[in-house]
């Protein structure tokens, strides 16, 4: 934790349920403002981290946001995700990063952090340029001061997260500070397999799961630990899956219904929590992971609580957890920023 009497102030945009913010809090940053439009994310954030502005970012004026030393933004990733339509900037959500620029121009914080899916790196801007290059250029030239910007594709399992989840981070440090950020080194992957995280004490909250459909449950019965839908006998597959099995090349050899073994690191958990989209099936029990198990795969601590009072809330919690930035990954990046920028002797500790 930071030893500052007045720790660096964090402004958080598109905060989700708080994975990124919790990681920065653990690294010693002080939250002064957070925002997310999703009501389910708001509910979880307020339970664990405090007040969050629930308005659409388009409705929020720059003068309404308190000054921060650092601004973070996990702007919507769906337009760039391989699990979505990949419309990129042609999806209205794909341009929401421009709202971040609007606020950055007003505040010119010392540090900026953007986080998104790796699909952003292969997305083209409306003029044909690579979107990642546009983001770097926008930040580098801002207001004649600009930022030294670096970006890197990180695998969460390299930073203490029990999940192979690739995300791109952009970190910009204001040029007058004279620092070019260096991403933290990879860590050893000790104790990250499912065997080390699924033994949860009974008194920990949110140990409920979303029941599989009858068709899904029928398929899961045939899938061994470490297997997938390819282990299901052909005659037991639904007609839709038989058509895909008949022409695997056409469908790019999908690996539906992945059941990771206890001796593997889990794959990416998605917001949909569907067996076709992510490894959400328990290694040895014929069910989805519970909300708490998914939270552990995303490196949320057991005292971070979620809402599970109704079936609607259960599915919503899978969504907000799947959309979150893994806490341990966020903390690793945040700690590196704290050490390289805010503990630098010739930089003011606070505004």
Catalytic residue IDs: 77
Owner of token pair 């502005």? 53
CA distance 6 to 42: 27
Shortest CA distance to 319 belongs to which of 270, 254, 279, 281?
Answer: 270
Owner of token pair 């952009």? 170
């Amino acid at each position: 934790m930071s030893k500052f009497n007045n720790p660096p102030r964090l402004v958080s945009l598109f905060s989700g349920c708080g994975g990124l913010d919790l990681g920065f809090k653990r690294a010693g940053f002080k939250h002064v403002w957070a925002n997310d439009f999703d009501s389910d994310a708001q509910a979880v954030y307020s339970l664990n981290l405090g007040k969050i502005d629930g308005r659409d970012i388009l409705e929020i004026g720059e003068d309404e946001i308190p000054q921060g030393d650092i601004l973070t933004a996990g702007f919507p990733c769906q337009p760039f995700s391989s699990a979505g339509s990949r419309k990129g900037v042609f999806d209205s959500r794909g341009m929401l990063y421009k709202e971040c620029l609007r606020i950055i121009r007003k505040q010119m914080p010392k540090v900026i952090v953007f986080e998104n899916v790796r699909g952003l790196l292969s997305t083209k801007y409306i003029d044909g340029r690579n979107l990642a290059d546009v983001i770097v250029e926008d930040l580098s030239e801002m207001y004649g001061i600009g930022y030294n910007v670096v970006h890197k594709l990180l695998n969460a399992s390299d930073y203490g997260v029990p999940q192979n989840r690739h995300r791109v981070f952009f970190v910009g440090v204001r040029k007058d500070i004279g620092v070019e950020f260096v991403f933290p080194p990879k860590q050893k992957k000790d104790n990250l397999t499912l065997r080390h995280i699924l033994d949860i004490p009974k008194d920990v909250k949110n140990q409920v799961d979303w029941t599989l459909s009858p068709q899904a449950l029928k398929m899961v019965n045939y899938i061994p630990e470490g297997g997938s839908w390819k282990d299901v006998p052909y005659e037991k597959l639904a007609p839709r899956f038989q058509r895909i099995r008949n022409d695997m090349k056409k469908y790019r050899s999908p690996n539906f219904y992945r059941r990771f073994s206890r001796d593997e690191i889990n794959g990416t958990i998605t917001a949909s929590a569907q067996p076709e989209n992510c490894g959400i099936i328990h290694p040895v029990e014929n069910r989805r992971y519970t909300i708490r198990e998914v939270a552990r795969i995303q490196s949320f601590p057991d005292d971070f609580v979620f809402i599970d009072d109704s079936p609607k809330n259960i599915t919503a919690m899978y969504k907000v957890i799947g959309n979150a930035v893994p806490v341990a990954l966020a903390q690793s990046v945040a700690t590196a920023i704290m050490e390289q920028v805010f503990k630098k002797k010739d930089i003011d500790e606070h505004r």
